[in-house]
Amino acid sequence: MKHKSIWKLAKRHKKRASRIAKETDVLIIGGGIAGMMTAYLLKDSGLKVALIDKGEIGNGVTSCSTGKLTYLQGNYRNIATTQSKEDAKLYLHSQREAIRLAKHIIKKENIDCNFEEVDSYLFSSNKSDEKELKKEAELLEYFGIPFLWMQDDDFILPATLAFKVEDTAVFHPVKFVKGIAAKCSNVEIIEYVTAKEITKHEDVFFVKTDHNLWKTKELIVTTHYPFFLFPGTIPFRTHLERSYLIASEVEETLPECGISVGKETLSYRFHKDDKNYLLFASESHKMTNHIDYEKRYDEMEEKFKAYFPYKMEYEWMTHDVVTDDSIPYIGMLKDHLFIATGFNKWGMTNGILAGKVISDLLLEGSSPYQKLLNPKRRQKLSTLLSKRSLSYLELSTLYVRTTLIKNHFFYRNAYVINENGTPYGIYIDEKGIEHKVYNKCPHMHCNLIFNSNDKTWDCPCHGSRFTVDGDLLQGPSTTSIKIKDK
């Protein structure tokens, strides 16, 4: 089995980035679906637009998603509780608008990204979750969205109850991002440049990167998770959830995708290309709750084998930023500084929406969704008490767990030692060679844990990832954990 996402394309050669300081009207940091959509929608604005990415565009979390474009996300009852029914309705409209926009752009630009209109199913995988499913159905009815209840024998997973909606789709997320990038000839796109620091003097932002300095009037941060704490204090208002995925070659595909409600998340879709695939995701958990990733992979494989007779070809894991009220943070964080994060595992639609909302705010001065998505919005006290306090408790437990255990072993080939109060992570490779790194995440100093499937050191608090030699793979950290950098 290959330990990588089915969407990841072969890496291109790095182009050497310029060391010369640059000036632009709009700088976008991060070329995932959110950043690239924003660039696409600003490309003909008459403004000088540039986009930088730490790696190759489209190769971040976007390249690890399931690639569904759906408004049937099983989260309307959360929004109705944490905010209001009207907010849930507006959120639904935003998701439908994002799907329509994606369809329109794909057609207009003739983007080859395996876009296929399919039905979306929501289902309960056991009797006790049926009540939750019915609540989602009641809300859809209230919103005036047509849906159809299904017989359980019509369904590919063992569902006790299910319903479906139309006007949803699936696509290849990386081909989509690369496709729109190819249409942005008047946007300067620079890859393999990491933004490290932002300062502002007299209405101008200065962005220090590992190569050069950028000067810009408008700054848009679409790095999945912001790499700064202030403004916004996003780490204190979100948590990360990790999920595990499998792709398996199949002969036939079905024009449908689905997700379960309730505690156990099961999700699937089909993908039609030169070969056909079934994608299956399960084992969603808060990053802080489990440090034994291997066990989660085993559990997902067991489930897959129980449900499907196919050979597993690819497996990978990824995480997304989850907000307390199930609504993303998209919009202006401070004068001329925009962000898009907290997509709650629905960043295909919300990344497209982010492009629309941010470009509308910049060009028109308003968006119908700006209040709903406002990154500075306050949470209800009840939400703060129930969700935030639990998150802090989990984070503290994790910190104690990964600090107090001396010489913590991670699946035979990696362990953590403490030398004179400094923690080091050591990985022994197949040839017996030792790879030693500093074992604290430079972002907010959480202890790192070893991910034996991907052979990476991962931060369970905010999701930064590093190679066994300490090179930075994924932020919010902007520096490596190589010992010489200590």
Ligand X SMILES: Cc1cc2nc3c(=O)[nH]c(=O)nc-3n(C[C@H](O)[C@H](O)[C@H](O)COP(=O)(O)OP(=O)(O)OC[C@H]3O[C@@H](n4cnc5c(N)ncnc54)[C@H](O)[C@@H]3O)c2cc1C
Give the nearer residue to ligand X in terms of CB position, either 347 or 460: 347
Q: Smallest distance from the beta carbon of 409 to ligand X, in angstroms?
A: 27
Q: Smallest distance from the beta carbon of 422 to ligand X, in angstroms?
A: 26
DSSP assignments along 82-140, one per residue: HS-HHHHHHHHHHHHHHHHHHHHHHHHHT--S--EEEEEEEEESSGGGHHHHHHHHHHH
Q: Smallest distance from the beta carbon of 421 to ligand X, in angstroms?
A: 29
Give the nearer residue to ligand X in terms of CB position, either 163 or 228: 228
Q: Smallest distance from the beta carbon of 335 to ligand X, in angstroms?
A: 21
Q: Smallest distance from the beta carbon of 216 to ligand X, in angstroms?
A: 14
Give the nearer residue to ligand X in terms of CB position, either 318 or 439: 318
Give the nearer residue to ligand X in terms of CB position, either 31 or 470: 31
Q: Smallest distance from the beta carbon of 370 to ligand X, in angstroms?
A: 18
Question: Is residue 63 classed as helix, strand or coil in its secondary structure?
Answer: helix
Give the nearer residue to ligand X in terms of CB position, either 75 or 439: 75
Contacts of 270 (CB under 8 A, 6+ apart): 118, 170, 250, 253, 254, 255, 256, 257, 276, 277, 278, 279
CB-CB contact of 63 with 342 (8 Å) = no
Please give the single-letter amino acid code of residue 306: A
Q: Smallest distance from the beta carbon of 174 to ligand X, in angstroms?
A: 9
CB-CB contact of 329 with 343 (8 Å) = no
Q: How many CB atoms lie within 10 A of CB 162?
A: 22
Instruction: Using CB under 6 A, list all residues that contact ligand X.
Output: 29-35, 52-55, 59-62, 65-68, 194-195, 222-224, 227, 243, 245, 281, 318-320, 343, 345-349, 351, 475, 478
Give the nearer residue to ligand X in terms of CB position, either 331 or 423: 331
Q: Please state, in angstroms and as integers, the Cα–Cα distance from residue 434 to each residue in 167, 406, 430, 431, following that order.
A: 53, 19, 10, 9
Q: Which residues of 21-32 are buried (b: 16+ CB within 10 A; e: fewer)?
A: ebebebbbbbbb
Alpha helices in 204-340 (DSSP H): 293-307
CB-CB contact of 465 with 287 (8 Å) = no
Give the nearer residue to ligand X in terms of CB position, either 53 or 129: 53
Q: Please state, in angstroms and as integers, the Cα–Cα distance from residue 183 to each residue in 52, 309, 449, following that order.
A: 16, 41, 40
Give the nearer residue to ligand X in terms of CB position, either 65 or 427: 65
CA–CA gap between residue 408 and residue 404 (Å, rounded): 9
Q: Smallest distance from the beta carbon of 268 to ligand X, in angstroms?
A: 10
